[in-house]
Structure 1
Amino acid sequence: MLLLLLLLLEKLSLLKLDVAAASEEEILHLLEMASKRVQRASELTLSLTVILSTSNEWNDKVFEFAHSISSRVGALDICIEANPNPDPDPNPNPDPNLNYDPNANMGSGLLARLLRHPLSPTQRTLVWPKLHTIHITMQSQGPSDVDLQQLEDVFSAPEKFPAMSSLAIAAPQCNFSALNMPWSVLSTLSLGPFHAYKFVDYTSILKQSTMKLRVLNLRMYGTPDKGPILLTMVPVIHLVHLTHLHLEYTPMTERLSGILLSYLYLPSLQSLTCTAVDGSHRTRTEISRLAKLIQQSGCQESLRYLELNNFDLSLRAGATVELRSVFMETPRLSRLKISGYKLHPGLWSIIPESVQDLTVELWLPAIGDLRPSFHEFLRGRSLSAVPSSTPMKARLDIADDRDVASVREKIDVLKAQFGSLLNVAIG
């Protein structure tokens, strides 16, 4: 009963306002329903999701509602859909006594109006006393007119966001540059994807985040700056409190992401996730850099979780040699997740004995080549397990879009062969 009550209260505290394509009547109805939910939620801290469009003339209705509950909002997820050709002058005859901003209906302009109080000319922003998490996503179907530089004005008074500790910014169609924002107060930071960015922007932001940052997610998509990069032989960014690092990169950005790793010193790292996107192929080089990161950071004893996604771990890539160097640096590794189209059968023989939770994600055609070696690996681990130790858990996720019946048939064979040691699922 208590659990059910907690779930109901959590549901009451979640508010989603998707008004990107809504009419005035629809918005008013949505806000009426949201107001009732807020009342039923009593004094609970609220989680608010707002989806806006630069072309909707009724956005102010949403802003007024958001401002009325600003003292109770703990998490704010904002998605702004920028019209490729927004009206640059929505108010052709503005009141001369008001400070009219011609960019008010642009992407960052909407964000500023949401986070400021438009009725108080002496107050630049609202006070959001409980707001600890802000997620900002800006999207455009055409050439973006979003100016991220306006974010500096939005967050220019950090005292208006006294509880802010987590920030995520993504703008796939927008150029990114280092912003003058309160990076030093953050414990969680997510950046990207962006249309274009500079290497120095990332290093500049991370150098300002050394005090409290514990979780870092970098989605390094888009077009990196082709300017010269000053290489260093020693890490220059000491993120001593960072425990979780998640890095995603594409073929265009893999070199840049690898260089960024060489700048980092992460002595408290517990979880490391690396994802290759859109056919990144320099697997051996990237895995080698992971080993160097662990070694230069001295986090061998703290690293417990390692995840490698979409890597080519075949014999041709020579990646098992580099993986061995990673595993030699992780004596306390307990959870390992690997996904890729091809895995070399020799992979199993180098997995550390410390790993107690293993997840492997494969395409079905690769199962046949790996089945004998995987079977031998699981059999060996079961025989060597100490009775008092934690039994090993292995999960095989199979991704396949072909006939499900034939897939099920092969999975039944796998289950019969491996028994309770293996959890097999279709992804």
Structure 2
Amino acid sequence: MTTRAVVTGIGVVAPSGIGAEAHWSTVVSRTRRTGPITLFDPASYPTRVAGQVPDFEALTWADNRRLVQTDRWTHLGFAATRLALADAGLPEHAPDPYGYAVTLASSSGGNLFGQRELQRLWGGPSRTVGAYQSIAWFYAASVGQLSIHHQFKGPCGVLVSESAGGLDSLAHAVRTVRRGTPVVIAGATECPLSPYALACQLRSGLLSAATDPAGAYRPFDVDAAGYVPAEGGAVFVVEELSHALARGARIYGEVTGWGATHDAAHTGPDSAGDPAQYARAMRLALDRAGVAPDDVDVVLPDALGTPRHDRAEADALRAVFGDRPVPVSTAKPLTGRAHQGGSALDVATALLAFAHDTLPASAGPDRPADGCELDFLREARRPASRVALVAARGFDGFNSALVLRGAAARPAPTPRRAAEPGPTQGAA
């Protein structure tokens, strides 16, 4: 029998909130969490709206010795990993170090840390950078720091495919489980909010210049004009099924299929990605999962938010699902686009939807643009087959798709009678 990999823990640190339930509350209420950039002064930049993690205190999640060595992107990873382990009921330090691994996705590394150190290099009297500049900016820094702190010594690695990386990370985690490592930390966080990082994103011509957060990011809409950058993401505990069952773990769902393709083309000012390659990634994921397109409850799309990319994504979805309009839901307008952290956050949304037995209504579009007339969920509904397809595209041609099968919904707690006493403090 093929080894099966399930998700037993979810840790979210995102503009939607800290913790899985805070994120879910934002999604179902469709509360917009984007706003003015406060991590630096963006007054001289055309993009001044972003999604930032509210009330994040790094010292709550890591000691100062580790914080001074690392960037905010890694700080978010510290928090999301601790939340995921606690949610899964696993210890923070592995009882069997070689039975635990870390496989996260990354793109741009430690932007805020690197910006500060380079400014000190060319603007300060010492003309030096700190010793930790050599590691804090590095795209594998979060994987290394988490592996060291938690003593997870199984096969660790980092996936670099921009927004597609959050899905690639989970696919690689499943492969790692099948090769004999029972517990893998997967997912991604991101913090692309520094002057340097924002300038790099602006060069693509894909960012929104709107100043009103309510209308700044409108994927698939007639008013779509680019995406809003965001920090944060989600981290998961991916676990071998029998290992999870043996310890009585709660199971959110199973990663049953994945596919990855590449356009072999640079993302330029006039490009929109290759819908055929994107569709092929989705078909690969469905085929490997043994799932027919008609069995999919919902698709969580990439939703870049530029007219040409949105039309190309809609074309890819029509190529896969044919005449049957598949329900589509996206929460990205609420949080902004956190690159690989954003696709990981979509996975969290899908798994929480099954846990709550509710497919959330999409946060837009209000008026679908020509060519983007998909079956957007206008109202929440119960899932039927408990199968979700999450899709993502990374700059310069990366396409990835992931199929998730949700576990059975947890039964609602039985209401107590008025005379029935509650549990005493400290009761199990």
TM-score by length of 1: 0.27
Comparing both structures, which one devotes a greater share of its residues to strand? 1
